[in-house]
Chains A and B, each alone.
Chain A
Amino acid sequence: MKGCKGRVLAMLYLPVIFSVILLSCASDISHDHSGHNMMLSEDGMVMNNNAHRLPFGCDVISKQYEFVVSAGRRYAADNPGAVFGMSQHDYRVEACSRISVVFSNEDEVRHQWMVHGLPKYLYPGGMFHLEAMAGKTIQGTFIVPAGDQTYLVHCDMAQHMEKGMKGQLVVGNGSGNLWNVYNTSDTFLKSEYLPAHTSRWVLLFAVIAFILTYGLLRR
Chain B
Amino acid sequence: MSRRQYLLVALILVVVAFPPGWYPLALRLEISRWFGAAAYLALPVSKPVETVGAEIYCPPDLAGWRSAFEIDGVNVSPSKTCLSDNPYSVATFVRGANNVSDDTLLKSGLAADAVTKGEDLDGDGDPDVIHIRLEVVELNGSSAESAEPVTQYEIAPGITPGLWVFAPKYLGMARENFESRKARSGLRPPSPVIRVEQGDRVVITLENTHYMPHTIHLHGADHGFVTATGQGNDGVPLTSELPLMPGKARSYELTPRQTGTMFYHCHVQPHVHVSMGLQGMFVIEENQPNNWLQTLNVGAGFVRSSSVAIAKKYDQEYDLHYTDLDLQLGQRVQSSNDPRLVTRSMHRDYDVTDATADYFLLNGKSFPYTFRESLIVTEPDEKIKLRVLNGGSKGISFHIHGHKFNLTHKDGVGVVPENQAAQDVIWLPTAQRVDLDLSTRNDGLHSYGAGIWLFHDHQNKGTTTDGIGPGGNISAVVYQEYMGLDGWPKTQGVSYEKFFSAEYYRKIIPVWQSYAPVLFSDPGTDWLMFGRILLLALAAGMSGAVLVSGSK
Contacts and interface: CB of A to CB of B under 8 A. Distances in A.
A203 interface: no
A57 interface: no
A127 B178 contact: yes
Interface string A112-153: 101011000000011101010110000000000000000000
Interface string B327-347: 000000000111111000000
A195 interface: no
Nearest to B337: A162
Interface centre among B171, B175, B180, B184 (most CB of A within 10 A): B171
Contacts, number: 181
B210 A107 contact: no
B507 interface: no
Given A3-B491, A31-B88, A109 B171 contact: no
B63 A24 contact: no
B495 A6 contact: yes
Given A17-B56, A29-B63, A158 B183 contact: yes
B109 A158 contact: no
A163 to B, nearest CB: 5
A25 B137 contact: no
A3 B496 contact: yes
A40 interface: yes
Contacts of A25: 62, 176-177, 180
B62 A28 contact: no
Interface string B208-249: 111100000000000000000000000000000000011111
B493 A28 contact: no
A45 B187 contact: no
Interface residues of B, number: 72
SS class, residues of chain B in contact with chain A: loop
Contact of A108 (B141, B150, B247, B338): B247
A218 to B, nearest CB: 14
A14 interface: yes
Contacts of B172: 33, 45, 47, 129, 131, 156
Contacts of B56: 6, 10, 13, 17
A148 to B, nearest CB: 21
Nearest to B61: A29
7 contacts: A6-B497, A25-B62, A109-B207, A157-B209, A159-B138, A180-B144, A180-B145
Given A10-B56, A109-B207, 20 more contacts: A3-B491, A18-B62, A22-B62, A30-B65, A30-B86, A31-B109, A32-B107, A38-B106, A45-B171, A84-B246, A109-B249, A110-B209, A156-B173, A156-B175, A158-B209, A162-B141, A180-B144, A189-B146, A189-B147, A192-B341
Interface of A: 1-3, 5-7, 9-10, 13-14, 17-18, 21-22, 24-33, 38, 40, 42, 45, 47, 72-73, 81, 83-84, 107-110, 112, 114, 116-117, 125-127, 129, 131, 133-134, 156-163, 179-180, 187-189, 191-192
